[in-house]
Copies of this chain bind each other. A is one copy, B any other.
Amino acid sequence: MAATISDIAKAAGVSLATVSRVLNNSGYVKEETKEKILKAIKDYNYTPSAIARSLSKKQTNTIGVIVPDITNPFYGEMIRGITKVAEEHGLNILLWDSHESVEREIKSIQALREHRIRGILITPTSSEDDRNAECIKNLENLGIPVVLIDGHLKYSNFSGIFVDNIQGSYDAVNALIREHHKKIAIITGRMNSKTAQERLEGYERALLENNISINKNYILYGDYSLESGYNLTKDILSMKDKPTAIFTSSNQMTVGALKALSEHNLKTPEDISLIAFDKVDIFNILGLNISYVDGPSTELGEIGMSLLLEFLNSEYNNKEEKKITLTPTLILKGSEKLIKK
């Protein structure tokens, strides 16, 4: 159906090679010949086939992106960062949403491999599972550079751009302690995620450095979903020795926590204090003034893509791994305050 390069060659009365030259702006072509070819291209509404070109060049111009949840604006912003940089370099994005499932992650990687992507950007769902790590190691062995964004893999010798989760939650919990909170609960993620482990670590470190002993009951494990944040917060609210503050370690769980508070007609910080990891724009827009640790979503995407470009441009050598860590900023809005009653 669509015109091919030889249709154009025929129409312009030249050879394929010449058409290819004007298509790629390579080699010398007489101005007059060029005109003829350009006209034929227009007449035929011709667009070169990236497929044929890729096969011939033995290289595509697409990169693969795998995120855990496309409906989470955090990842939407990350993708914007990625595409911004990718576009500047003529790269297309093949997108997959893993739905926080390692199985789907692996399937996605397989599909991307078939498409001979130049490189891959991934926020892995689990850092404790052998399967995704192996699968991704495979890519590297094939010479396909991999950049992790804000998430780790087992055997962590992968390049990537990360957020200093330990520092982030350490700062957050310290802010609570400075307000004289002693009973601080944390709602953290699944323990097969290094991110969750680190956020917990920052929490514990802050407590210990301040000689506050760790109360296991105050450590609640969610799964990054709104529901888990909601349920765990209800659990917290029904404790006999109720915490005076909650640290929620992901945006969806924070929303769930606030839902629970709202249902109980509790306000922050009057009734209970709260600091969140990750921004939820709407909170502050609505004047809720929730303090939070700001993980730079768009920046993660931009820097991650730039890192990948470095690998693509240099002769890629999977021995030299490169890790960049961004330190998140603690934004205090008032919800951390301890209101004496």
Contacts and interface: CB of A to CB of B under 8 A. Distances in A.
A287 B1 CA distance: 55
Contacts of A94: 62, 92-95
A93 to B, nearest CB: 6
B97 A111 contact: no
A18 to B, nearest CB: 20
A237 interface: no
Nearest to A259: B285
A45 B115 contact: no
Contact of A226 (B49, B256, B285): B285
A119 to B, nearest CB: 13
Contact of A73 (B71, B110, B258): B71
Contacts of A259: 285-287
Interface in A50-82: 50-52, 54-55, 60, 62, 70-73, 75-77, 79-80
A241 interface: no
Contact of A2 (B2, B142, B282, B287): B142
A83 interface: yes
Contacts of A287: 259, 262-263
A251 to B, nearest CB: 10
Interface string A186-213: 0000000000000000000000000000
A205 to B, nearest CB: 31
B47 A110 contact: yes
Given A54-B51, A73-B76, A45 B114 contact: no
A47 to B, nearest CB: 5
Contacts of A73: 71-73, 76
A80 B50 CA distance: 26
A80 B76 contact: no
A267 to B, nearest CB: 11
A34 interface: no
Nearest to A70: B76
Contact of A286 (B54, B143, B262): B262
Contacts of A49: 55, 114, 116
Contact of A282 (B95, B114, B282): B282
B83 A77 contact: no
B70 A1 contact: no
A113 interface: yes
A114 B50 contact: yes
Contacts of A263: 287
A280 interface: yes
A181 B79 CA distance: 43
Contacts of A157: none
A255 interface: yes
Interface in A95-143: 95-97, 110-111, 113-116, 138, 141-143
A48 interface: yes
A280 to B, nearest CB: 7
Given A47-B113, A71-B77, A71-B80, 6 more contacts: A45-B142, A62-B94, A62-B115, A70-B80, A71-B76, A259-B287
10 closest A-B pairs by CB: A71-B76, A262-B287, A50-B114, A95-B95, A259-B285, A1-B143, A47-B113, A70-B76, A50-B115, A51-B54
